Structure 1
Amino acid sequence: MTKLLKNAALASLLLTSFATLADIPTYELVMKDHQFQPAELTIPAAQKVKLVIKNQDDNAEEFESHALHVEKIIPGNSQGFVILRPLEEGEYKFVGEFHEDKMIGHIIVK
């Protein structure tokens, strides 16, 4: 395969991946003053979702959930995202690992 064809194939794959991400419903969590806003977030069952996490504090924080099998460090004054797999109905706990004693939230799946 020529270099031009390889580059075209890679570009096509990336565009397809971005288009797929754009089709996923997006929800937002904010970390501020070592709290989650909202502390309880409702999402649909059996559907993949994108969770955008904005850290409005100066220091890094780790979004972590054993129930969701997710952990992501978000630097201070920045944002990141995680993709949540399709989930069954229920309640899933998440924490800010660096302030786990007071930084607690739940995702409610309906």
Structure 2
Amino acid sequence: MNLYRALCFLNRPVIIAGLLLFAALAPVQAQEIPTFNLTIRAGHFVPDTLEVPAGSKFRLMIKNEGPGAEEFESIELKKEKVLAPGASSFLIFQPLKPGTYKFFGDFHPETAQGRIVAK
């Protein structure tokens, strides 16, 4: 038996174990979470109210279409994200209890107001 065949023979249990592990994990796929879009335009959030499912994790995609920087900030939700003009980003939220959660733009707090309603 040459060296190559000997190594293949000795590694066969390792290869089989690896294939079995891969087959067991193959059905596990990343579950897509609901995504909600929020645009910052001229110092305002569009839409200013987002309805999300209570008790479910979700992603908030934020795009700043304004001429200057703006920040999404929520003290209640302990989240903040600063976006440069033309930038996009996202935040992941853990499941929320039913209720209303306020957010605002730190650079335009008088006009950039919004809320997330978890139902």
TM-score class, shorter: 0.7 to 0.9
Work out which of the residue numbers 79, 102, 105 in structure 2 matches 1:96.
105
Gaps of 5+ in 2: 1-28
1:51 pairs with 2:51: no
Question: Identity across aligned pairs (percent)?
Answer: 41
Question: Deviation per CA, 1:10-46, whole angstroms, max 9, x where unpaired?
Answer: xxxxxxxxx63x6111000000010010000100001
Query: Do 2:72 and 2:80's aligned partners in 1 also have CA atoms closer than 8 Å?
Result: yes
Runs of 4+ in 1 over 4 A off after TM superposition: none
Corresponding residue for residue 74 of structure 1: 83
Question: Deviation per CA, 1:29-85, whole angstroms, max 9, x where unpaired?
Answer: 000010010000100001110000010012111100011110001111111100011
Question: Deviation per CA, 1:82-104, whole angstroms, max 9, x where unpaired?
Answer: 00110000000000011111110
Corresponding residue for residue 73 of structure 2: 64
Figure out how many residues of one structure are paired with residues of the other and give that number: 91
**TM superposition score normalised by structure 2:** 0.73
Corresponding residue for residue 117 of structure 2: 108
**TM superposition score normalised by structure 1:** 0.79
Gaps of 5+ in 1: 1-18
1:33 pairs with 2:12: no
